Structure 1
Amino acid sequence: MSLQYSVLASGSTGNSLYIETEKHKLLVDCGLSGKKMVDLLSQINRDPKDLDGILVTHEHSDHIKGLGVFARRFQIPIYANTKTWQAMSDSIGNIDSDQKFTFETGTVKEFGSLQIESFGVSHDAAEPMFFSFHQEDKKLTLLTDLGYVSDRIKGVIRESDAYIIEANHDIQMLMMGRYPWNIKRRILGDSGHISNEDAGLALSEVIGHNTKRIYLAHLSKDNNMKDLARMSVEQKLGQYGIQLGEDIGLFDTDPDIPTRLCAI
């Protein structure tokens, strides 16, 4: 039984991840319009009517923009922790009680053979959490929207087969850019976003023998570039003796183009 996935969209304009096992199909976040979500799924030949649930990481608009409309249209269950439900209630509109489910931080939820491990992160939201997906001996980790990668998180995500990890900004581009200082301070702070170098450093401590694919996610359109992010992460990994190539692939994500549906 394989675990398949596609990063449908990633960036400041909207985020969503598709996860599929033999018997279940799930989304993580729904940060684009309902119409766009249908289009993104169609690009990987998937139908929203087949979805079994939507997991929510946190209430920021680039993660829940289309959530209410999309879930109501296709009658999809939504899973979020209690504080996130409270924080996003006004933004997503009325959701029928039979579509509302609680998935608390630090717990594991099962969808058949798929085990989903939730863990908290440091970000300026009510109670942000991300996930490691376990299918038999396979493991996929999604980790974006956090100010730093703690030792606790590293312990949870270590030795994943694939990582979808934030490489939000290049520090020099951010500091020289047009953002006001209060926004720069927020991004650089412990509740903001991790840089290319931070991503590379964290990966150097968690990559295992089974790690085959790394996706750089949530790149800032103003303070980063794909080539720069890849180069920075590759250089940082090289400093710790980890070489990318045939054994470990490094891949881009896009704000509005899904990655190829892959299996681990």
Structure 2
Amino acid sequence: MSIKFSVLASGSTGNAIYVENGEISFLIDAGLSGKKMDELLAKVDRKASDLSGILVTHEHSDHIKGLGVMARKYKLPIYANEKTWQAMTPLIGEVQSDQKFTFDMETTKHFGGLSIESFGVSHDAAEPMFYVFHQGEEKLVVITDTGYVSDRMKGTIANADAYVFESNHDVGMLRMGKYPWSVKRRILSDVGHVSNEDAALAMHDVIGDRTKHIYLAHLSLDNNMKDLARMTVKQTLESVGSPVDEQYELVDTDPYEPTPLRSLGAVLV
């Protein structure tokens, strides 16, 4: 068995990632309507009723919009840290107590052969955290919604087979764009989102000889473009001695369409 995953949707309009290992399957976040979540899963030939649970990163609406609906409809377990539970409980509606599970930051839970490690990020939420999936020597990292990537984070996420990595905005587009300055300042801050350039520099510090795929995620609809993000990340990586395409590839994600279900062995199914 190998870890397989699909970035079902990624961006300011909603985020969700599907991960499985053949016996266990999880969503990371459910940031679109319940109906849309069902449609996205169907596009990768999967069903919400087969999920083992939903892992929550933080309480912002683009990560939990469909969470309550999915939990109630399919009786799914939900995993989040205590501060996130406190922040999101008023937002997701009633969820049965036997579906609520605490997943503390900087801990690892084991589900069959799949181990899931949580780690904290720097974002303006109650206690935001993301996840590393381990199975044998395989390693998948999901890291978005962070204002910067600290040395501690880098140590946790180093040398993964694949990354779903935030590349949120182009700094020039953001500065010249329509957002109020208060919003721009928040995005540019240490508790906002990483830019294309800063994402690439962090990638350079963590990619290793196992790394084959880097998915550029959580692109701003107003302050970024797929081609621009890919070009900027590639140029920045190559400028610091990390030639793209020789060892690993950059992969686009989309706010409305899932990426193909991929195994960490790079087999498309």
Inter-partner Cα distance in structure 2 for 1:133 and 1:96: 27
1:176 counterpart residue number: 176
Inter-partner Cα distance in structure 2 for 1:196 and 1:80: 28
After the TM superposition, list the runs of 4 or more consecutive aligned residues in structure 1 that deviate by more than 6 angstroms: none
Inter-partner Cα distance in structure 2 for 1:82 and 1:207: 31
1:68-79 mapped onto 2 (5 Å cutoff): 68-79=68-79
CA deviations on 1:176-211 (whole Å, 9 max, x unpaired) are: 011110000000000000000011000000000010
Inter-partner Cα distance in structure 2 for 1:263 and 1:246: 20
Q: Letter of the aligned partner of 1:2 in structure 2?
A: S
1:13 aligns with 2:34: no
TM-score normalized by the length of structure 1: 0.99
Q: Letter of the aligned partner of 1:240 in structure 2?
A: V
Q: Letter of the aligned partner of 1:134 in structure 2?
A: H
Q: Secondary structure at the match of 1:209?
A: coil
Inter-partner Cα distance in structure 1 for 2:186 and 2:245: 35
Q: Secondary structure at the match of 2:84?
A: helix
Q: Secondary structure at the match of 1:148?
A: coil
Q: Secondary structure at the match of 2:30?
A: coil
Inter-partner Cα distance in structure 2 for 1:251 and 1:127: 28
Inter-partner Cα distance in structure 1 for 2:58 and 2:247: 33
1:189-200 mapped onto 2 (5 Å cutoff): 189-200=189-200
TM-score normalized by the length of structure 2: 0.97
1:247 Cα deviation after fit:
2.4
Inter-partner Cα distance in structure 2 for 1:110 and 1:53: 13
1:141 aligns with 2:112: no
Inter-partner Cα distance in structure 2 for 1:246 and 1:204: 14
1:214 Cα deviation after fit:
0.4
Q: Secondary structure at the match of 2:202?
A: helix
1:246 Cα deviation after fit:
4.7
1:258 Cα deviation after fit:
0.3
Q: Letter of the aligned partner of 1:98 in structure 2?
A: D
Inter-partner Cα distance in structure 2 for 1:22 and 1:69: 25
Q: Letter of the aligned partner of 1:128 in structure 2?
A: P
1:172 Cα deviation after fit:
0.3
Inter-partner Cα distance in structure 2 for 1:138 and 1:35: 32
Inter-partner Cα distance in structure 2 for 1:62 and 1:82: 19
1:28-107 mapped onto 2 (5 Å cutoff): 28-107=28-107
1:28 Cα deviation after fit:
0.3
Inter-partner Cα distance in structure 2 for 1:100 and 1:52: 13
Q: Letter of the aligned partner of 1:29 in structure 2?
A: D
List gaps (5 residues or longer) in structure 1.
Answer: none
Q: Letter of the aligned partner of 2:100 in structure 1?
A: K
Inter-partner Cα distance in structure 1 for 2:21 and 2:85: 26
Q: Secondary structure at the match of 2:41?
A: helix
1:121 counterpart residue number: 121
Between stretches 107-116 and 56-65, larger displacement belongs to 107-116
Inter-partner Cα distance in structure 1 for 2:38 and 2:32: 10
Q: Letter of the aligned partner of 2:215 in structure 1?
A: Y
CA deviations on 1:108-136 (whole Å, 9 max, x unpaired) are: 01111111110001100000000111011
1:243 counterpart residue number: 243
CA deviations on 1:37-88 (whole Å, 9 max, x unpaired) are: 0000000000111000000000000000000011100110000000000000
1:260 Cα deviation after fit:
0.4
1:206 counterpart residue number: 206
Q: Secondary structure at the match of 1:219?
A: coil
- Across the aligned residues of Structure 1 and Structure 2, the Cα RMSD in angstroms comes to 0.6
CA deviations on 1:209-230 (whole Å, 9 max, x unpaired) are: 0100000000000000101100
Q: Letter of the aligned partner of 1:225 in structure 2?
A: M
Q: Secondary structure at the match of 1:14?
A: coil
Q: Letter of the aligned partner of 2:105 in structure 1?
A: T
Inter-partner Cα distance in structure 1 for 2:229 and 2:131: 23
Inter-partner Cα distance in structure 2 for 1:201 and 1:247: 17
Inter-partner Cα distance in structure 2 for 1:8 and 1:90: 26
